[in-house]
Chains A and B, each alone.
Chain A
Amino acid sequence: MPRLNPGELEIDLFCKGLRIDASCRLDRDARLFSRTRAGLGSGLELVIPGDLKDIWMNAPVEEDFCALSPYLVRWSEAGGYQVIDTRSDEDYEVHIPPTPAWYERTTSTGVPMSKIGVLQGTYLGIYVSEACMFWNPEENANCAFCTSGVNVGVNEVTRKRVDDVVEVARAAKEESGVTFTHFNAGYQWEDKPEHTRAHGLNRAAPYVKAVREQVGGFLGVQVAPVLPHDHWKYDWLVDLGADHFSFCYEFHNPDYFKSFCPGKFGHLGQDAFFRAMEYTTKLLGKGKVSGEIIAGIEPIEDTLEAIDYITSVGAFPTVCIFRPLIGADLEHLESPAAEDMQRVMEHMWRAMVRNKIPLEIIPNIEVSLIVQPGDAAYLAPRDLGWRAFRARNAIVRALAGPYVAWKLKPHAVKASATDHPKLPPRRQPEPRPGSEAAA
């Protein structure tokens, strides 16, 4: 069996998982394992060094299939950690990023910082609302691969104060070098005009404004798409400081979308994701919006088609390799075959090149939950097109330097995070009986 390059190893680890040898002291050396947000971050954060780039990944360790993995992480006698492929005895050096000091601290209001936000790779992820409404017992329409409904309130704080989030974002920027903060939420009645103030974009708004004004950095928002009559909300969020939107439509094949995302199908429809992705790409420009899909459940040809569609509109694909998470409805499915996933990721690279989507322009955004488009550079032949694309991105990166430096600083925001001419007035609380107002 030939030695794998870092990109191939990343994919194989996502598909096969990792066992932990008794020689490891990961309780001391590694970041805490935290099943937050949709659940993908429940594994071991590690870095695979490489000549093109270092690859950050969250290797599955908790799921049942990991117990049968040929890969074993161990402490080497020479010092440092290695991943051993027990089939071939091939060893791969890996780095284990330590727990940031701020994980151990609390905010001024006494909330553990790691219950406000967590690093997933090198970016800060913050879930901004109560559980996704698809998990409501009345709805019972959660996505079949997701576990967010059993995480929020158990591993995360349900309601996060804006000041707490600012404190955590500041600590993550100053101590961990974070350049990108990502806010996400599940479905929040985006199809219901009567709940317009509760939509995910509205919930994210105060956090985006506060972090833009008090911390700085690049800010992303990932919530359920609003319908076209509410697309103005994206403009509003950009005015508040958002730089990026991502849309998790999961499956390109409509039948799979319907079967495995019953809530998204019933309330929003696949088209809502497409229209929102197209709208925001026009609003922000090429390479600033992403379409998120899961590879390994629907037929591969559908996933390839999804990548072609996403890149054709100027967005970039974020492709999650399906992980049968503990407690998810799809826990009993097999993890996908690494060969299939390599085909998907190589296709992603070619689609990025073909559509000239800017890549890795902002420094230090490494997302450990997915195979990033830049990671896929390891999978493609290093031909003229490959070199030209990388050279072009290097030039754009250099030209963007001053803009990046400016964005990393805090800036005042004029727009209100709670009021907008298109929003209905806020409901006033009922005056208490006997109070002056009631009289």
Chain B
Amino acid sequence: MIVNLDESGVGEVLEAAGRSPAGRDLVARLQAGEEPFFVAVGPSGFEWGVFNEVRGIANRARLKLFTPEDRDDLAVVLAYKPSQVSWSHDRYAYGVWEIPVGDGETALDAAELEAWIAFQVSGFHPEKRPLSLVRQISYDIP
């Protein structure tokens, strides 16, 4: 479920995300799931976290869907943790899921999507890495 649907700006973010097939699948999965997801308002792209604790600490794992500049053929999900230092804008990347965008209504692989959600909920535990995780990132992250 998405727990901050009432928050200002969230509706717009979801609407924008829903314009792409990958975004549509992601929004549907977040809404249908048991996990308490929240949508981040402000950052570019479609970005969300989950309200849970990992080993007694708030889970910082974030996923972000975006299209790299000059790469309209690709939708990308970035896995990262924001800094826990209040003034820092550092992002600690774990890798990406590269999703080719075809001509039609390309949907996400359901099993892979579940693997990515489990990876996020685990706080990006190394043993939960999805098979599709690419650790080297070859484009700028917005």
Chain A residues with a Cβ under 8 A of chain B: 20, 22, 26-27, 33, 35, 61-62, 64-68, 135, 137, 149-150, 154, 326-327, 329-332
Residues of A within 8 A of B29 (CB): none
24 residue pairs A–B, Cβ–Cβ below 8 Å: A22-B86, A26-B85, A26-B87, A33-B85, A33-B88, A33-B90, A35-B90, A61-B84, A62-B90, A62-B92, A64-B54, A67-B57, A67-B84, A68-B56, A68-B57, A135-B135, A149-B136, A150-B95, A150-B137, A154-B137, A327-B81, A327-B94, A329-B126, A332-B126
Which one, B84, B93, B127, B135, contacts A62 given CB within 8 A?
Answer: B84
Q: How far is the CB of A81 from chain B (nearest CB, A)?
A: 15
Q: Cβ of B95: which chain A residues have Cβ within 8 Å of it?
A: 150
Does B92 contact A327, Cβ atoms closer than 8 Å? Answer: yes
Q: Determine whether the beta carbon of A150 is less than 8 Å from that of B93.
A: yes
Task: Say yes or no: is B55 at the interface (Cβ < 8 Å to chain A).
Answer: yes
Chain B, residues 103-129, CB within 8 Å of chain A (1/0): the string is 000000000000000000001111100
**CB nearest neighbor in B for A334:** B55
Considering only CB atoms, which chain B residue lies closest to A43 in the complex? B85
B125 touches A62 (CB 8 A): no
Bound: A36/B81 CA distance, A: 17
Is B83 on the interface with A (CB-CB < 8 A)? Answer: yes
A68 and B86 CA atoms in complex are apart in Å by 16
Of the candidates B86, B93, B123, B127, which one forms a contact with A64 in the assembled complex, judged by CB atoms under 8 Å apart?
B123
> 5 nearest interchain CB pairs?
A27-B87, A326-B92, A329-B126, A64-B57, A67-B57
Measured CA separation A64–B93 after assembly (Å): 15
How many interface residues does chain B have, given as a range? Answer: 20 to 34
**Cβ contacts under 8 Å, A326 to chain B:** 81, 92
Residues on the A chain within 8 Å of B123, using CB: 64
Q: How far is the CB of A74 from chain B (nearest CB, A)?
A: 14
User: In the complex, which residue of chain A has the Cβ closest to the Cβ of B93?
Assistant: A150
CA gap between A35 and B88 in the complex, in Å:
12
Which one of B86, B126, B136 contacts A137 once the chains associate, using CB atoms below 8 Å? B136
Q: How many A-B residue pairs have CB under 8 A?
A: 59
Rounded to whole Å, the gap between the CB of B128 and the closest CB of chain A is 10
Give the residues in chain A near B125, CB-CB below 8 Å: 332
Q: How far is the CA of A436 from the CA of B2 in the complex (A)?
A: 68
A313 to chain B, nearest CB (A): 35
Interface string of B23-61 (1 = CB under 8 A from A): 000000000000000000000000000000011111010
* CA distance in complex: A22, B86 (Å): 9
Chain A residues, CB < 8 A from B134:
137
Kindly provide the distance from the CB of B1 to the nearest chain A CB, expressed in whole angstroms. 25
Question: B56 to chain A: which residues have CB within 8 Å?
Answer: 68
CA distance A249 to B125 in the complex (A): 26
Known: A149-B135, A154-B93, A332-B126. A62 touches B57 (CB 8 A): no
The smallest C-beta distance from B96 to any residue of chain A, in angstroms, reads 11
Please give the distance in Å from A292's CB to the nearest CB on chain B: 23
Decide: A35 and B92 in contact? CB cutoff 8 A: yes
Chain B residue numbers with a CB within 8 Å of A149 are: 135-136
Q: Which residues of A contact B54 (CB under 8 A)?
A: 64
A135-B127 Cα distance, complex, nearest whole Å: 18
CB-CB under 8 A from A154, the residues of chain B are 93, 137
For the complex with contacts A137-B135, A326-B81, A332-B125, 6 further pairs of A-B residues with Cβ separation under 8 Å are A22-B86, A62-B84, A64-B54, A149-B136, A327-B92, A331-B126
Instruction: Report chain A residues within 8 Å CB of B93.
Output: 150, 154, 327
**Distance, CA A360 to CA B93, complexed state (A):** 38
A416 CB to nearest chain B CB (Å): 34
Residue picked from B85, B125, B134, most chain A C-beta under 10 Å: B85
Closest to B83 in A: A62
Nearest CB of B to A72, in Å:
13
Beyond A20-B86, A326-B81, A332-B126, whether A135 also contacts B136 by CB under 8 A is: yes
Which residues on B sit within 8 Å (CB–CB) of A137? 134-136
Report Cα–Cα, A137/B134, bound state, in Å: 9
Contact, CB under 8 Å: B85 / A61: yes
User: For residue B85, which residues in chain A have a CB less than 8 angstroms away from its CB?
Assistant: 20, 26, 33, 61-62
Q: A137–B92 Cα gap in the complex (Å)?
A: 19
Distance, CA A55 to CA B137, complexed state (A): 37
